[in-house]
A = this chain, B = another copy of it.
């Protein structure tokens, strides 16, 4: 049986036929309040991990394990294809959830799933339990429809338990198990699509460099009448640095910052432009009154495909009511940079270091502190594995699949970097799902489409997914 309309119908029929049982299983899992940020819920997080391990074993995975970390455990499962030439795919998701309290504005108990108008409401419904679980329904459909006893690819799952707490032990975990996690492709199911009507595949995430620059001027606050205008002021110099981040075209003005940047292709920009983007609506989501960014790029290009520099915090001198006529002793800048493919964390850090040193005048001492950086990841539109995801989604949705990127940064890049495999994103959540917010939900229709996509994906990848 190949990739024909018959297959598509058979997969759909299988998913629909098992929908009720699948939702009952998902609801059972959602009832476990696996809030990783809450120490009092640590046992619930472990219980959620055991539930998933048992569920994967019941699905048929011959290998299911709980991997401990210094924090919450991850769940690993493996199902070899049996074919020595088969592609190996690793699915990433997480079994922990954000905190949720009825008093935050939930209409129903966040840990007592409710189905209403084709939606399932519960903490974790979309982020990420629903999106992890559609894979098991998908695998069952894949096996049932193809008649196989094992997936067409060597399938591995790594479902971590600390994503909502910043994944503090994740890189370490991946490094420690790098050999067993080895794969040709990573599929991340912890993202979303453009909208219910516009199915999309995300092709990359931006990287992140964060730093703090501390500037030290006078040994103590000094009188601005007696000394101001004749000695350097660290608040002024912090401001001059922050202002020098961008030129008048709002391009980042740090020498070398754009070195190696992979520009979005004309084709990708055309496809971005096909998205039904409503800037006024987007501005409402941004709680902002106007768009402003790098000249020559659209808003979507600015947040997805272009590197940026942002002032996250600035502080220096007197901040209380009224005035205080001082030259302050010190000031502080907190900056973050979003990186795109082609930029290297270390090169950006070094460029920022050189830029600051060149601008800060004699008499001001400064230190730069960097912390936890993340590399960007991007899969080209013509990458065979990405095309497989697009075809699998196209068969499930019966529509043209467009492309997005993710402006934020995430642990997916660790998988790319440590395992050396391209990261693809298969997510069926939509912006209205309310991640991290009260009344989180998932669209049941999209959950089924996710399962169908997953069912098609292994065959698509097996057939044409190799680079």
A residues in contact (CB < 8 Å) with B:
206, 208, 210, 212, 217-220, 222-233, 235-236, 238-246, 250, 283, 286-294, 299, 302-303, 306, 308-319, 322-329, 331-332, 334, 336, 338, 361-365, 371, 406-409
Contacts and interface: CB of A to CB of B under 8 A. Distances in A.
A291 B233 contact: no
19 contacts: A218-B286, A218-B287, A219-B288, A222-B288, A224-B310, A228-B303, A228-B310, A228-B338, A229-B303, A229-B309, A230-B286, A232-B292, A235-B311, A236-B245, A238-B239, A239-B311, A312-B318, A313-B328, A318-B334
A329 B289 CA distance: 12
B208 A225 contact: yes
Given A292-B363, A303-B229, A362-B292, A238 B287 contact: no
Contacts of A206: 225
A303 B239 contact: no
B363 A230 contact: no
Contact of A319 (B226, B306, B326, B332): B332
Contacts of A240: 239, 242-243
A240 B225 CA distance: 24
B324 A223 contact: no
A55 to B, nearest CB: 32
Given A210-B323, A303-B230, A313 B308 contact: no
B302 A313 contact: no
The 7 closest A-B pairs by CB, nearest first: A290-B363, A225-B408, A229-B308, A239-B242, A243-B243, A219-B287, A313-B317
Given A229-B306, A238-B314, A314-B316, 9 more contacts: A227-B288, A228-B338, A235-B311, A236-B246, A236-B310, A236-B311, A311-B316, A312-B327, A313-B324
Contacts of A233: 310-311
Most buried by B among A224, A290, A299, A315: A224
Given A289-B362, A362-B292, A334 B313 contact: no
A317 B311 contact: yes
Given A229-B302, A371-B322, A314 B331 contact: yes
Contact of A323 (B212, B224, B315, B324): B212
A464 to B, nearest CB: 32
A222 B314 contact: no
A398 to B, nearest CB: 29
Q: Which of A240, A242, A314, A325 has the most CB of B within 10 A?
A: A314
Contacts of A322: 371
- With a 10 A CB-CB cut-off, give which of A228, A291, A334, A336 has the most chain B CB atoms: A228
Contacts of A309: 229
A407 B212 CA distance: 34
A217 B233 CA distance: 26
B231 A288 contact: yes
Contact of A315 (B219, B299, B315, B338): B315
B288 A312 contact: no
A222 B287 contact: yes
Contacts of A327: 310, 312
B325 A336 contact: yes
Contacts of A408: 223, 225-226
